[in-house]
Structure 1
Amino acid sequence: MSELHEVRTAERIERVEHELAAHGTERIFSFFDEESNRTVYVKQAEPVHNAAWLRFSRWATITLGLGILQPGADPDGEKALRLEAGRLRRLQDRGISVPEVYAAGYNWIALYDAGENAAVCIRKDVCSYEEKRRLIVAAAENLASLHSMGLHHGRPHLKDMLWDGETISLLDFEDGYLIDVAREKRIMRDLLLFLQSIYKEAAEAGKDCGPELAQLAFSTYAAKETYYASYAKKYFGDLSVLYLLLGILRCAGSDLESVYQTLKLFRQA
């Protein structure tokens, strides 16, 4: 069995390397795998052009005692992508819905198709409002399942989730490089970023469903993971100075506005 697995793995790597030669530096592309009758998406590592800024931002937030708000991206994009395949396989073994790994290399990863980008479903009219609600419930439940194991994602934005009409799959765990942040705060940070992404995607698409969908997400999450929901509500609800500051700066962009709305949800929940 192990020899057969090794042969199959080698064949898949060879197939992806053939596709890489054809696609060059294209960062994300797909091909059809005849053996499984499924589409496979390949993602290549990209250079982190703002590595110095990431390091400075991380140092600044930690120095100011706001490490929970530090950027989660790893300055070494290739290393982060190499860790992704093993992480996805381990999570799948533990029952977390993630894309199935087709193969992985030094600076690329290939995953079986797991559906449409969740952010696209929220932004556009390809999904009915009822389907958007089902998507949000599935996302909140899957994230709560991850957190109930004491694990965090790092950046669970809607754009880092896939929706196949029934199931949400989490991906892009490589964006979870945090320093000097306790496990509980990493998980609370996940919840903050998840809710914030709902507000942001809806607002940038000109939709007015953000507040209702975010409230649905939080109530669904809280029903399954009461401890971290309560912890996040108290922690973020007590950030009064930051809340007031964002209330002044919120007009500067969708990121600040969506964080403000998320803190407001925690304060009112």
Structure 2
Amino acid sequence: MSNQALADVIKQQLVDHASERIVSFEHEGRRYWLKQAEKLTGAMRLLKQPADIAIQTEIATLQSLAAKGAAVPELVSYGSDYLVVADVGRTVTQWAYDATTPKEKLRQVVVDSARALADLHQLGLAHGRPALRDISWQDGVVAFIDFEANQSQQHMHDQQVRDLLVYIHSLYRYLYEHQDIVDEAIRTYRQTHGEAVWQAAKAKMKSWQWANLIVAPLRKIGGKDLRPIYWLLKHFK
């Protein structure tokens, strides 16, 4: 693949989609995503971080995480107000919501995501919000998108515990009909370097078991975010 040819395509995309924040395009059989700095107007200029700083922070984060071996999308191009990453496939949520996904394929996707989260933590890193909609899978390769963790080593253990709780909550949110897959995913995380973090999560949730007195009666009628809390608490009981 010609780097110059791809650079020319990106240049044209920037012209054709100057007012769009995120667009996808294809080049020589591969899909890419172009993300441009958000155009802030009015009060948003005061309430949000300057758009150029935000995009540069995202670029630096991707570079830093990739250098440490984290499973992140390939950063193929960037500038002062944009970045381009290679497509990393559908999210785990999209695989789960696709009625044509065979159950064994869904099992592979989910278990791979659990193993990848354990590997990320083994690298001494955290995601910040590893819900299934922020984890992609393509041909057996997992990638994490939209990192939110500050990667501060001082608080890394706490961030990893929060990662695991968010991840398990998301498993129950999207896959409550596939309890066997949920169980296998959690078991895979624990067996792939993750036991210490799981034990810390269990200790943390011990002080919250009282909440199930409130949540349990609502587990069948509560919203999509409330119902999984019952299963999360029950898992760590």
Q: TM-score range by the shorter chain?
A: 0.7 to 0.9
Query: CA distance change for structure 1 residues 186 and 243 in 2, over 3 Å: closer, same or farther?
Result: farther
Structure 2 SS opposite 1:163 = strand
Residue 259 of structure 1 aligns with an amino acid whose one-letter code is I
Please state if 1:137 is matched with 2:137: no
Q: Distance in 1 between matches of 2:39 and 2:229?
A: 28
Corresponding residue for 1:165?
139
Query: CA distance change for structure 1 residues 255 and 23 in 2, over 3 Å: closer, same or farther?
Result: same
| Selected match of 1:33 from 27, 32, 42 | 27
Deviations 1:66-96 (A, max 9, x none): xxxxxxxxx5384444322332233333333
Q: Is the 8 A contact 1:123 1:202 kept in 2?
A: no
Structure 2: 5+ residue runs without aligned partners? none
Please state if 1:21 is matched with 2:15: yes
Residue 44 of structure 1 aligns with an amino acid whose one-letter code is Q
Matches within 5 A, 1:71-110: 76=49, 78=51, 79-110=53-84
Corresponding residue for 2:36?
44
Per the normalisation by structure 1, the TM-score is: 0.73
Q: Is the 8 A contact 2:70 2:123 kept in 1?
A: no
Please state if 1:261 is matched with 2:235: no
Corresponding residue for 1:194?
167
Structure 1: 5+ residue runs without aligned partners? 1-7, 56-74
Query: CA distance change for structure 1 residues 245 and 130 in 2, over 3 Å: closer, same or farther?
Result: same
Kindly state the Cα deviation for residue 46 of structure 1 after the two structures are TM-superposed.
4.4
Q: Alignment length, in residue pairs?
A: 228
Structure 1 SS opposite 2:35 = strand
Residue 135 of structure 2 aligns with an amino acid whose one-letter code is M
Q: Distance in 1 between matches of 2:99 and 2:188?
A: 23
Q: Percent identity?
A: 29
Kindly state the Cα deviation for residue 178 of structure 1 after the two structures are TM-superposed.
9.5
Q: Is the 8 A contact 1:96 1:142 kept in 2?
A: no
Kindly state the Cα deviation for residue 190 of structure 1 after the two structures are TM-superposed.
0.6
Q: Distance in 2 between matches of 1:243 and 1:46?
A: 41
Corresponding residue for 1:5?
none
Q: Distance in 1 between matches of 2:200 and 2:40?
A: 33
| Selected match of 1:127 from 98, 101, 105 | 101
Structure 2 SS opposite 1:254 = coil
Which segments of structure 1 move beyond 4 Å, counting only runs of 4 or more?
45-49
Deviations 1:99-126 (A, max 9, x none): 1111123443211122122211011123
Deviations 1:30-62 (A, max 9, x none): 12234xx5221113354799x99xx9xxxxxxx
Structure 2 SS opposite 1:182 = helix
Residue 260 of structure 1 aligns with an amino acid whose one-letter code is Y
Query: CA distance change for structure 1 residues 47 and 21 in 2, over 3 Å: closer, same or farther?
Result: closer
Please state if 1:239 is matched with 2:233: no
